[in-house]
Amino acid sequence: MVSWSELLFCPSRRPSTFPPCLSADDIFGYVTVWPQFNPIMVGKRGFNFCFMLLPLMIESTRATDTLLPTQSLQDGQTLVSATKNFELGFFSPGSSTNRYLGIWYLNLAEGNVIWIANRNSPILDTSGVLTFNEDGDLTILDGRGSASILAPGSKTSSMAATMLDSGNLVLRDINDSSQVLWQSFDYPTDSFLPGMKLGLEGRQNRLLTSWKSADDPAPGDYSMGFDPNGTSQFFIWQKGNVYWTSGLWNGEIFSLSPEMVTASIFNWEFVSNMHERYFTYSLLNDTMIFRYTLDFRGKIQLLTYSGDKRILLWSQPTRQCRVYNLCGAYGVCNENTLPPCRCSKGFEPGSLTDWNEGDTSGGCIRKTRLQCESGGEPDKFWNMPNMRLPTFGRSFQNWGTQECRSACLQNCNCTAYVVSVKCTLWYGNLENLQEFYNASVGSGTLYLRLAASEFASGGNKRQLRVIIIVAVPLGLLCSCTLICFLWFRSRRHREKKSLHEGPLLSLDAEIAIKLGECNEKGSEFSLFHFSHIADATNNFSSENKLGEGGFGPVYKGQLADGQEIAVKRLAAHSGQGLLEFKNEILLILKLQHRNLVRLLGCCIQGEEKILIYEYMPNKSLDFFLFNPARGALLDWFRRYHIVEGIAQGLLYLHEHSRLRVIHRDLKASNVLLDLDMNPKISDFGLARIFGSNETQAITKRVVGTYGYMSPEYAAEGLFSVKSDVFSFGVLLLEIISGKRNTGFHKLGASLNLLGYAWELWEQGNCLELMDPLLSDGCSTSQISRCIHVALMCVQENASDRPTMSDVITMLSTESAAIPDPKQPAFFTMRTTTEADMPSNVHGSCSPNNITITVPDGR
């Protein structure tokens, strides 16, 4: 039985984890067994006094966020923040029996502890107590009488400890709550929360420190924090040695880890003044949960949650070459080789024994000393393209290549330079080098300083002369043989053209003239040589591949000036021939809208047909929408913003552009997302231009994606602006539900997403269609309205569907009347096997699960 004082000052206990603080039976037990409060003994007056105290006793069992000087928090009791986001109490991690005072997310599963008070001194049993001592200090006690001061207080004023909704435990004066005397955010453990500062304040460096193991929160081998030398970057240290770096902060991203900062989720801020230098961040959507944590293996991770399930969004380092300076000074890391390390040109391992044993941390040493100021032949520079640039360079604005090179040669300590937007010089050892590094920032061509003797000269001249005497005649003989072979071959294959002949060999006169005009007028559209595109995409390497489109793969590339591009390389076997290729170029050149993708140029050489677009860092809508982890990043605000952008793009194509354009292949994978999650409609290879008086057309070559095609187009080849409206309606339902239309099954029924939406609409339960990842705080009336509009867009008859102008009005105007929808155009189609297809059918396909070409009518 608990005491009366415990009853009055008992903070809440977590029902799901700990026994209740006081049950109803306990409360009434006090009334009946305590002599002073027995109504039979004290009569009516005493009975009334008892029930006057009863509400006070019940109130004392409710959750509280504050611990007062007269109270104590025992093991099994907790403080809960006002909005029930965070909870403070004692816990045991994993299989350990030790007890720790910590903070965790209240409504999430286990393993979500974000702060620990006594990680160096665990309590061995459940006797732990958090209380204030006589000096006003917040203190942790155990059953043996040992005391550990958590936060110093004051004898002259009354202190209170409060659990805030941000996850911050603060100590402040009861009479002046605005003055925070101590806070847990100043002493982080392994988690970096929104609103927390990570960096330098005076001599204090706020660091994250990993757990020792999954079950032991004692300080581990890894720590993470702001560079103590003052550069604006994060480091992870392993036992004091640099293990990983984020790269320098440029005001928007970290140069070596741009994905660490997601502009559509976070608002990052770097503060630098005389007193402090730190990073902090806030969430653009406070209803979602995100945190960075340093795990016991030394990886910094970005976590979010779907329900009570923890989802890993990002983690570093994930590859060998992301470990800082893995190959040591002047060592070069390559992800594609085993072992991954080699020495730069002109260098050799400092300890060959260590390298042979796999320890490359000692790095490399020069084979020949630099000749600086020795009177010998001047040092030279070795060109190292596509390198991850070393850290700690010194930059100079407005210096050209010659100035940068001369400045490096004049300083004996200068070991390398880079010229891009500015000149950057490096002094001393070069660390953290990686080759074939094609990131948008933090990479470039490095000019490494070497002794001139490392190049062919001096003592090698005699040997070189011998080589030349032997090699030249041999080379001439081989050349003559090769020329004869090529001449005979060319006679047999005159119709075949070399891949690297001049551009525009395969274009007809119309497109050649159009492209030529664009180039001459100084348009942003350019004609690219194949070799330049191959260089930009690292020879179309698999690492640069973004995905596979209906007509061929798409690659990420980087031009020589640093601009990032998306390269669509049409496959030779694809259905998109020169006609669709020309169509896509001419269409996009004439269309300019913020919700349409921008075409930067093309390349046509031999059989190669390549389109170059602006690069979209957030890929396509389907990349987020149909993935449970990434879908959590699309809250309703962003989804509705994407819907509005797609609608505006279609309206421009149908009514406001110089041409009336029918897209014919609108789907989630053809909606690209820029850095700020703005949608851009792409892939105009199947689009058709209508004249001013045309409203519809018929084609015998039906192309598109099953699940998005209107019934009249799929069955009869009839298409119009209402065909795009149908596709928009399907896409709108997918955005709301987070599910694909094709392959959708609910409770075993052969219904697609349209059928399921109609079924819920008829039952009056349309909001059940909503993606479970969407928070409860989103506008249900707006979602219901969007479902209504989507059902109008997917009507069986094209005449019953609204125009895109009507769609935008219905979406944006709450007072706009929307007709009641009829049964939509949902029907079951069997997947046609290869054996079922006519032998003469050859059409285009476009992947988004299942595609069809020239389908039979119903």
Residue 479 DSSP label: H
Query: Nearest-CA neighbor of 5 among 66, 57, 64?
Result: 57
List phi, psi (to 5°) of 34.
Answer: -80, 120
Q: d(Cα 762, Cα 462) in Å, to the nearest integer?
A: 92
* Alpha helix (H) residue ranges in 233-387: 352-356
The answer to whether the Cα torsion of 787, 790, 796, 799 is positive or negative is positive
Provide the token pair at 659.
Answer: 């041409």
Question: Measured on CA atoms in the order 72, 75, 76, 79, is the torsion positive or negative?
Answer: positive
Terminal-residue alpha carbon distance, the chain: 77
Q: What is the token pair recorded at 628?
A: 């449970």
Whether a cis peptide bond, with omega within 30° of 0, leads into 19 is no
Query: How far, in Å, are 104, 496, 529, 552, 602 from residue 505 at the CA level?
Result: 65, 11, 12, 21, 13
Establish whether 665 is a catalytic residue.
Answer: yes
Strand order of the β-sheet with 208-213 is: 208-213, 216-226, 234-238, 241-245
Distance CA 661, CA 704 (A): 15
Question: Taking CA 439 as the corner, what is the angle to CA 437 and CA 443, rounded to the nearest 5 degrees?
Answer: 65
- C-alpha–C-alpha distance, residues 497 and 731, integer Å: 43
Nearest to 313 by CA among 244, 249, 264, 254: 264
User: Do the bridges between strand 433-435 and strand 331-333 make them parallel or antiparallel, or are there none, so unpaired?
Assistant: parallel
Q: DSSP strand E in 227-335: where? A: 234-238, 241-245, 266-272, 276-283, 290-294, 300-306, 309-316, 331-333
3-state secondary structure of 164: coil
3-state SS class at 54: helix
Contact assessment for residue 707 and residue 741, using Cβ atoms and an 8 Å cutoff:
yes
Task: With beta carbons less than 8 A apart as the criterion, state whether 732 and 786 touch.
Answer: yes
Rounded to whole angstroms, how far apart are CA atoms 341 and 364? 10
Which of the following is catalytic: 142, 665, 683, 724? 665
Residues labelled catalytic: 665
